[in-house]
Amino acid sequence: MSGAQEPVGTLDVALKHAAKLLTAEPALAAEQAHEILKSVPGHPLATLILGAAIRASGDAQASIEILEPLTLAHPNAAAAHYELALSLGRAGRGEAAVKALRRALDLKPDMTDAWRELADHLNAMGDAEGADIAQVRHVRTSLRDPRLMAAAAAMGESKIPAAEALLREHLKAHPSDVVAIRMLAEVAMRLGRNGAAEDLLTRCVELAPSFHAARHNLALVLHRQNKPVAALRELDRLLAVDPRNPSYRNLLAAVLGRVGDYDRALAVYAKLLEEYSGQAKVWMSYGHALKTAGRQDESVAAYRKSLALEPGLGEAYWSLANLKTFRFTPAEVAAMQAQLRRSDISDSDRLHFHFALGKAQEDARSYAESFEHYNAGNQLRRSTSRYDAAETSLHVARSKALFTPEFFAARRGWGCPAANPIFIVGLPRSGSTLLEQILASHSEVEGTMELPDIGVIARSLGGRTSWSEKSRYPEVLAELDADRIRSLGEQYLEQTRIQRKAGTPFFIDKMPNNFAHVGLVHLALPNARIIDARRHPLDCCWSGFKQHFARGQNFTYSLEDIGRYYSDYVELMAHFDRVLPGRVHRVIHEALVADTETEVRQLLHYCNIPFEPACLRFYETERAVRTASSEQVRRPINREGMDQWRHFEPWIEPLRTALGPVLEAYPSTPDYPA
């Protein structure tokens, strides 16, 4: 091309050709754009193509230097702002990318790809609600079929049943429509049907392997189902295509944390924070990972950084309180109280402020005020949780009816013979983390975390797909033959293999709720050790009531519920003591505190491993601890946590009533009928 001015027709042809080259051959597109700009200096579309081509060729910074002046010269050009956002994102300037994306979408709200990019960035920043809104807009703007547009609108308005009906009807006629399949999977995820969502998304990426948004959803739903190996496999594929994608990296850090790879998780968070330094929720996630890794001073600094950025972030205050050894300053207490006086904070922030202030007032010995906050936080949490105490009692009754001496005798010799797992069961806040730390200080034992795998296996056996449906578990165990029972043990070992890093002969699974599955554990893994960590019922239940658990312990948000749960637990464990005498080793927390060495020696003898002095110096062991007791077990045994319920005695009568004879009999158990 030569001359000062090209004929219009020739220019249009050249521009179309350059644009066509962008995806497949960006270097050639850049050459074409350069040639156009020689003839028509400053031509906006040619400049846009040049910037996009250079970014696609891998030089994000050079692209920014071209596109920033273009957006200044043409502030109403949506495409220019969008291309600039892509380059900013690739250069690691996430917050600036979000600003450019919002400008592009203000100018042209139907830019489908811009909504998707915005959702990715907001996810990385921890703005799940904003990302969800952006993702819905992405889906909505990508659709042309009126029925799918109606389904997207229903999802955007949280009319989930209506959206599900529209999508299922559409898929009857168009079963391979991947956008509709992905939308239906999102409906399933919102309804908690993660297994169904996984099936839909697997089909989606089979039909469209380059449908990266669906693959990202698949990785997320795998993570939610505790399938980290599969989730990492999908994330590896996504990151191979787009290694700088913030959403992918944020999920990667979460999965790495789930499998105990904290060094890599921390590195990913640190890199994200270089790019999103002003995002409070990313700082908070970083703080969680630092806490687990035992880097408390750094975790406190990260939490405080998140609060400096977002003073109304209640979860960050609770995260500080949840360190247990942390003490709030008067200024921080006043700041939390001021936030609670606001009328515009979310219920989630409000309940976190209540739990944090409960801890602060307890430390200040203002027990009446402390109880008011703990109670208010629990009431808010209870109103949004799903728990039926009668269902737990029914499970105990069904288990007692099934697991008789005759049942186990008929299946003697079944199961996977591996002796690797050591299960610690009981209630949360029972001293189980202390036992784990003692055992993990032994050279032959590795501590992992609270592994959900036994519960997942039990739920899969139950076949329950909704709360109204009755589970077939535990009775279904009577229908399984020896090969199937053995496969359950092998399945557990395979699923938990990724958690094992040290190569020791034994590893610990300290999911307390596994007390409900002792029968399953004994059948599937007859040589595994089972340790029952038991603490005084008032100490244990009160400690659970004042603890805000992220998930999985819905019985703790009512004094009546937690008392009934403890009572049911004691009854079920007493049953196993009767039908499987000696199978479970019980450690009474108060006895462990009073005579640590004797209890530790008995514990190691039960586990059939030799005594090592390091088990008495457990507080010197450096390892990741992922529970509320993480900082407490890094100190020598003390009586600090005992009898704290006495400060709250005027308000805990409902707990005493719910515990009934269990409280009177402790540390023994009541005489239960066979």
Q: What does the pLDDT look like over 46-59, one tens digit per residue?
A: 999 999 999 999 99
Task: For 538-650, list the strands marked E by DSSP.
Answer: 584-588
**Regarding the domain with residue range 415-665, which homologous superfamily does it belong to in the CATH classification?**
P-loop containing nucleotide triphosphate hydrolases (3.40.50.300)
Q: Which of 572, 596, 98, 500 is nearest to 260 (CA)?
A: 500
How does pLDDT run across 657-670, given as a tens digit for each residue?
999 999 999 999 99
- The string of DSSP letters for 483-512 reads HHHHHHHHHHHHHHGGG--S--SEEEE--G
Quick one: what percent of the chain has pLDDT higher than 90? 70
Q: In degrees to the nearest 10, what's the CA dihedral of 481, 482, 484, 485?
A: 110
Average pLDDT rounded to a whole number, residues 383-392: 89
CA distance 568 to 513: 12
How does pLDDT run across 521-575, given as a tens digit for each residue?
999 999 999 999 999 999 999 999 999 987 779 999 999 999 999 999 999 999 9
243 Rama class: left (phi>0) / alpha (psi -120 to 50) / beta: alpha
Lowest mean pLDDT among 172-181, 432-441, 508-517, 622-631: 622-631
Handedness of CA 56, 62, 68, 69 (dihedral sign): negative
DSSP code for 96: H
- The string of DSSP letters for 530-564 reads EEEEE--HHHHHHHHHT---SSS-GGGGSHHHHHH
For tokens 């491993």, the residue is 609
Contact 630, 437 (CB under 8 A): no
Lowest mean pLDDT among 164-173, 463-472, 504-513: 463-472
Contact 185, 165 (CB under 8 A): no
**CB atoms < 10 A from the CB of 353, how many?**
28
How does pLDDT run across 152-196, given as a tens digit for each residue?
889 888 889 999 999 999 899 888 888 899 999 999 998 878 889
CA distance 379 to 550: 15
Distance set, CA 82 to CA 78, 115, 136, 449 (Å) = 6, 10, 19, 43
pTM, full prediction: 0.80
β-partners of residue 426 are: 533
Is pLDDT above 80 for 674?
no
Is pLDDT above 90 for 314?
yes
Contact 590, 536 (CB under 8 A): yes
Is pLDDT above 70 for 632?
no
How does pLDDT run across 391-411, given as a tens digit for each residue?
999 999 999 999 999 999 999
Average pLDDT rounded to a whole number, residues 322-337: 94
For tokens 């009857």, the residue is 172
- The encoded tokens of residue 402 equal 């099934």
Handedness of CA 338, 344, 345, 348 (dihedral sign): positive
Q: Which of 502, 509, 467, 521 is nearest to 622 (CA)?
A: 502
CA distance 147 to 179: 12
Coil, helix or strand at residue 448: strand
Distance set, CA 274 to CA 133, 202, 297, 299 (Å) = 25, 33, 20, 17
CA distance 74 to 327: 53
Contact 547, 556 (CB under 8 A): yes
Q: What pLDDT band is residue 638 in, cutting at 50, 70 and 90?
A: low
Domain boundaries, the chain: 415-665
Handedness of CA 86, 91, 95, 100 (dihedral sign): negative
Average pLDDT rounded to a whole number, residues 321-343: 94
- The string of DSSP letters for 372-415 reads HHHHHHHHHHHHH----HHHHHHHHHHHHHH--HHHHHTTTT-S
pLDDT at 635: 55
